[in-house]
Amino acid sequence: MVDGHTTLYGFIAHPARHSMSPLIHNMAFNELGLNSVYLAFDVQTAEIEPIFKSMRAMEIGGFNLSMPFKQTVLPHLDSLSDTARKLGAVNTVVNDHGFLTGYSTDGDGFIAALAHENVDVIGKHVTVLGAGGAAKSIVLALVKANSGKVTVFKRNNDSFAEVKKEMTGWGDQVSVVPFDDEAALENAIKDSDIVVNGTNVGMAGDNHFPLTPSQLANLHPDQVVFDAIYFPLVTPLLEVAKQKGCHVMNGTGMLVFQAAAAFKLWTGMNMPIDSVMNAVKKEVANRQK
């Protein structure tokens, strides 16, 4: 029941109404008996400064952030976690009596999602498709988790050299290769223990693959194939990987575990993972109908 003691948390993005975060956090608050509520706020870029002033003044507990605010909010924060500083982006803000700290929990969510399915990354060769925000978080998390070789494939555009310098600076095991080097990508797929799709290719309404037919042919049963997309639950890539006998994972686990990491930062409590995960999968399935 909402009353004068209820703590407010929220999701700030544009657009924001599609977010699964209110379902996730409100379910966790209810199950744990916490007097808190989580709302989604569709915010224009020009409104972000007054929102953060309000967060301090009203003692709002914290926010999650998505595009286009993961980087633009940085000047409004008092402190950043080490991970957020390296990524230059945040997805979670904690308000400690007016002192705002930014965190990035996406990478933690990825590692935790793998661990939840008994997948260990230590010493493993991981190929990551894409070098956007989610993919960067995954790569940095892999380095921190002592993975083996991490081969990142990125479009050979104007930002290639800058992103390559940034990501290879995180660890000697990271290499960044142009996506159009099809032979290198084919070999990386063949040699990898884990293949990660960090691109948007395969989202609902998109029946394309992030890999060519010859690259898909190199998937094999000893691999884990992880697609950060969770809508749909089974992407074209995961469908083929499943046929190849791979251990397939969609993005629902990463979604829930990154939320759980934010929840822990806010409340100090563990999110009830299993019930939240089931609710998220059910909601995504309903939205696919």
- Ligand-binding annotation for 106, yes or no, is yes
User: Does pLDDT of 167 surpass 90?
Assistant: yes
| CATH no. of 7-103+258-286 | 3.40.50.10860
pTM here is 0.96
**CATH 3.40.50.720 domain position(s) in the chain:** 107-249
Residues recognised as catalytic:
70
- Can you tell me the distance from the alpha carbon of 58 to that of 43, in angstroms, rounded to the nearest whole number? 18
For residues 190 and 173, give the distance between their C-alpha atoms in angstroms, rounded to a whole number. 18
Annotated binding residue 66:
yes
Of 33-42, 118-127, 255-264, 279-288, the range with the lowest mean pLDDT is 279-288
Domain(s) labelled CATH 3.40.50.10860 in the chain stretch across 7-103+258-286
* Per-residue pLDDT band at 289 (split at 50, 70, 90): confident
Task: Give per-residue pLDDT as tens, 184-241.
Answer: 999 999 999 999 999 999 988 788 899 999 999 999 999 999 999 999 999 999 999 9
pLDDT at 81 (0 to 100): 98
The answer to whether the annotation marks 9 as part of a ligand binding site is: no
Lowest mean pLDDT among 143-157, 194-208, 215-229, 263-277: 194-208
CATH class of 107-249: alpha beta
How far apart (Å, rounded) are the C-alpha atoms in residues 113 and 189?
A: 21
The response to whether 137 counts as a known ligand-binding position is no
State the average pLDDT for the chain: 96
121-147: average pLDDT: 98
Q: Any binding-site annotation on 241?
A: no
